[in-house]
Amino acid sequence: MTDFQELYHKADVQEYRQYILTDQQNQLWEKYAALNKIVSHPNIVFAGDSITEFFPIHELLTSDTPLYNRGIHGIDSLQLLEHLSSQILDLAPSKVFLLVGVNDLKKRAPEEVCQTIQTIITKIHQQSPETLIFLLSVFPMNESPEFVRTPSLRNNQSISLLNDNLSRLAGEKVSWLDVHDLLCDETGQLKRDWTVDGLHLTVAGYRVIADAIQPHLV
């Protein structure tokens, strides 16, 4: 029987996984572009990668203002910037909860990622000056050997460096929501009971994040 980790790292498998991922992402961007034409106003948008996409916002959060989830699995901040219209701008939101950057850290330095996110914030406010942006800290990982990982620069050290940089982006109409430590165990790892794969959260983990976000939905 083929060892799973050996199979996971085979070049042809990785190429096929990337093909499927790209197709899924394109379908979601098209879907969001169509749905954006019928959204209610005012509204609150959650934008980012898979950690946002998998966030059950309608089950865990309550708001008199409609909530829209525009997360897309596998994307980095450069892709969010490229598709900013379908994920954020077309909705003209009153508030945006932005969580992105962990996928960038596979190949990019924290300082570079922060610059891209700064550009995203700037472009949001150029088109929608009154939008309030809530910038969430990137969540910790659980780096246990039980979780399959492709070689990359992404680890808890680079996540902490990125968060240090992102915290400096707070300012007028940009609030920094540091939820990182809420998810950590005593060793600084993402709590094992709150993750399914070392990166993504269980419902229990999302409840922690929802409790931190809820006061800002009023």
Cβ-based burial of 172 (10 A; exposed 0-12, middle 13-18, buried ≥19): exposed
Nearest Cα residue to 139 out of 45, 52, 25, 216:
52
The pLDDT tens digits of the residues spanning 75-85 come to 999 999 999 99
Q: Please report the pLDDT score of residue 1 as a whole number.
A: 41
Residues 189, 140 contacting (CB under 8 angstroms): yes
How many helices (H) does the chain have, and how many strands (E)? 9, 5
Spell out the domains of the chain, with CATH numbers in brackets.
40-217 (3.40.50.1110)
Residue 16 has pLDDT above 90, yes or no: no
- Would you report the helix, strand and coil content of the chain in percent, each value rounded to 5? 50, 15, 35
Give the chain's mean pLDDT: 94
Q: What is the pLDDT of residue 73?
A: 97
What integer pLDDT is reported at residue 213 of this predicted model?
Answer: 98
C-beta atoms surrounding 100 within 10 Å: 29
Task: Give pLDDT, residue 31.
Answer: 98
Mark residue 188 as left, alpha or beta (left: phi above 0; alpha: psi -120 to 50; beta: remaining): left
Among 14-23, 51-60, 103-112, 160-169, the range scoring the smallest mean pLDDT is 14-23
pLDDT for the residue numbered 147? 86
Average pLDDT over residues 35-64: 98
What burial class does residue 36 get, using C-beta atoms within 10 Å of its C-beta: 0-12 exposed, 13-18 middle, 19+ buried? buried
Residue 218 pLDDT grade (very low, low, confident, very high; cuts 50, 70, 90): confident
Q: Inform me whether the pLDDT recorded for 9 exceeds 70.
A: no
Each residue of 89-138: pLDDT tens digit? Answer: 999 999 999 999 999 999 999 999 999 999 999 999 999 999 999 999 99
Q: Is the pLDDT of residue 5 over 60?
A: no
